[in-house]
């Protein structure tokens, strides 16, 4: 510990020591020799203390310093104080590292830390079990040399880690891992690998179930609809029977529409068609869609205007884009009160191609907007049954846009109307 004014005491002690030699030199009538002798002796003593300090720092096993006097006592105490403080800091740091390692070992996912050159710095126990890494043998080795799946290597070197990737596990091809990479610190990367085998299996089972059930329902519904059409309907002779047959026909048709939407959704989910391989003539599509919308509009007599850029074509899957756009346009026709106005826009922008459907209908409350694309979600169930909606239209739109790297934007105010829109990126624009 540092003592105030200790340096003054040391100077006084040094002055006193030299004064003794000076007095002795004056007495012996050779003051210069005496002062020189005193300085040399003082240097020898300090050199001896330096040797003791060196031996204590590098060779002694004792933590406590040797017993000395004078200024060297303060030097030893200062060094001893710093050693104790550093030892406490190392102990705290060691405890922190220990807790970090214990926490990382408790993670339910495999975790790997790599540096800017993709060399492995650290990994937890699950990474050694699930990814086949060996620690510490694999320390310093490149991660992409140990996880050799082509999709993972392409994902890793692309450097775009906004979304995770799903690939088979390196140690067990029967398992599916979700890899997520997060940059942090000074050009370091944290890889998190999660086993999603069960989730993937359940998702595949769900898709297969929906597709199979929808396919199996189509035939009996067609048979029912055919026989209902053959039954005689005479409202004057038996009004109850006529009403029952009409209602059964309407509900059978509604079920057929639901089955068709489920099959469309299943095909979109299972689609592996590449969006960059075909150019879609969107203006021609909208011309046909306008005719269909006007035919659907005979009862409600809306004012429908299409504002279409006649030269704007895009890359994509035509059947999917047709399904998405028609769902949005026909929804506006169905749910806008009679005599309303509907505007459909297809226009080029600096950042891509934008599609929008704007109506002046009843609008949708804000608490419903986030859930509109969920399957079978309805804002007004009674109105949906009246219009024959299946509750799958916006879900189909969502999956189509996801396949085309876009997303549905919905803005609405109750009593003023709604706007449904999406933007296809500039990379998908084929010509303007």
175-219 tens-digit pLDDT: 888 999 998 887 889 999 988 888 777 777 777 777 777 777 778
Q: Which helix (H) or strand (E) holds 176?
A: strand 176-184
Q: Which residue has the higher pLDDT, 222 or 286?
A: 286
- Taking only the tens place, the pLDDT of each residue in 59-68 is 777 777 777 7
pTM of the model: 0.53
* H-assigned helices in 182-308: 197-230, 239-270, 282-296
The rounded percent of the chain whose pLDDT value lies above 70 is: 91
Under the banding of pLDDT at 50, 70 and 90, the label for residue 2 is: very low
Q: Which residue has the higher pLDDT, 244 or 343?
A: 343
**Which CA distances in Å does 65 have to 1, 39, 60, 69, 274?**
13, 26, 9, 12, 76
Q: Is the pLDDT of residue 401 over 80?
A: yes
CA distance linking residue 258 with residue 241, whole number of Å: 26
Rounded to an integer, what is the distance from CA 143 to the centroid of its chain? 21
CA distance linking residue 346 with residue 333, whole number of Å: 18
In this prediction, residue 303 carries a pLDDT of 92
Q: Which helix (H) or strand (E) holds 306?
A: strand 303-308
Cis before 6? omega within 30: no
Q: How many CB atoms lie within 10 A of CB 406?
A: 21
CA distance linking residue 432 with residue 421, whole number of Å: 20
Q: Is the pLDDT of residue 109 over 90?
A: no
CA distance linking residue 262 with residue 117, whole number of Å: 47
Q: Is the pLDDT of residue 387 over 70?
A: no
- Taking only the tens place, the pLDDT of each residue in 134-190 is 888 888 999 888 888 898 988 888 888 888 888 888 888 888 889 999 988 878 899
Residue range 342-359: mean pLDDT, rounded: 93
Q: Which residue has the higher pLDDT, 209 or 127?
A: 127
Question: Taking CA 220 as the corner, what is the angle to CA 216 and CA 223, rounded to the nearest 5 degrees?
Answer: 145
Q: Is the pLDDT of residue 271 over 90?
A: no
- Taking only the tens place, the pLDDT of each residue in 276-319 is 888 999 999 999 999 999 998 988 889 999 999 999 999 998 98
366 close to 327: Cβ distance less than 8 angstroms: no
In this prediction, residue 244 carries a pLDDT of 85
Under the banding of pLDDT at 50, 70 and 90, the label for residue 386 is: low
> 112: helix, coil or strand?
strand
Q: Is the pLDDT of residue 20 over 90?
A: no
| Among candidate residues 365, 344, 371, the one with its CA nearest the CA of residue 416 | 365
């Amino acid at each position: 510990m540092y003592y105030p004014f200790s340096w003054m005491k040391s100077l006084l002690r040094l002055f006193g020591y030299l004064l003794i030699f000076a007095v002795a030199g004056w007495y012996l009538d050779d003051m210069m020799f005496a002062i020189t002798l005193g300085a040399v002796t003082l240097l020898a003593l300090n050199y001896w203390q330096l040797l003791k300090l060196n031996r204590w720092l590098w060779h002694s096993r004792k933590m406590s310093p040797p017993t000395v006097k004078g200024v060297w006592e303060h030097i030893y105490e200062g060094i001893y104080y710093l050693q104790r403080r550093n030892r406490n800091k190392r102990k705290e740091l060691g405890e922190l590292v220990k807790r970090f390692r214990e926490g990382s070992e408790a993670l339910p996912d495999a975790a790997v830390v790599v540096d800017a050159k993709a060399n492995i710095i650290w990994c937890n126990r699950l990474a050694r079990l699930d990814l086949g890494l060996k620690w510490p043998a694999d320390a310093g080795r490149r991660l992409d040399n140990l996880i050799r799946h082509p999709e993972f290597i392409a994902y890793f070197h692309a450097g775009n880690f906004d979304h995770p990737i799903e690939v088979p596990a390196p140690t067990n091809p029967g398992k599916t891992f979700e890899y997520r990479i997060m940059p942090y610190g000074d050009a370091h990367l944290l890889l998190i690998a999660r086993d999603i085998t069960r989730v993937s299996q359940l998702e595949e089972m769900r898709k297969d179930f929906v597709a199979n059930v929808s396919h199996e329902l189509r035939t009996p519904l067609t048979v029912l609809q055919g026989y209902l059409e053959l039954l005689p309907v005479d409202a004057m002779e038996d009004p109850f029977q006529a009403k029952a047959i009409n209602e059964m026909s309407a509900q059978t048709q509604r079920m057929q529409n639901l089955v068709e939407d489920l099959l469309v959704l299943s095909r979109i989910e299972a689609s592996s068609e590449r969006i960059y391989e075909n150019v879609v003539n969107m203006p021609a599509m909208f011309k046909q869609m306008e005719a269909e919308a006007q035919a659907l509009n005979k009862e409600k007599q809306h004012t429908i205007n299409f504002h279409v850029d006649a030269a704007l074509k895009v890359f994509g899957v035509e059947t999917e884009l047709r399904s998405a756009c028609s769902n949005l346009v026909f929804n506006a026709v169905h749910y806008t009160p009679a005599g309303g106005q509907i505007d459909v826009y297809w226009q080029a922008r600096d950042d891509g191609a934008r599609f929008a459907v704007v109506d002046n209908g009843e609008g949708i409350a804000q608490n419903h907007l986030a859930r509109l694309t969920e399957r079978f979600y309805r804002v007004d169930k009674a109105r949906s049954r009246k219009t024959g909606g299946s509750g799958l239209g916006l879900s189909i739109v969502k999956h189509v846009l996801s396949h085309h790297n876009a997303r549905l934007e919905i803005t609405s105010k109750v009593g003023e109307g709604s706007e449904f829109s999406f933007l296809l990126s500039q990379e998908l624009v084929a010509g303007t």
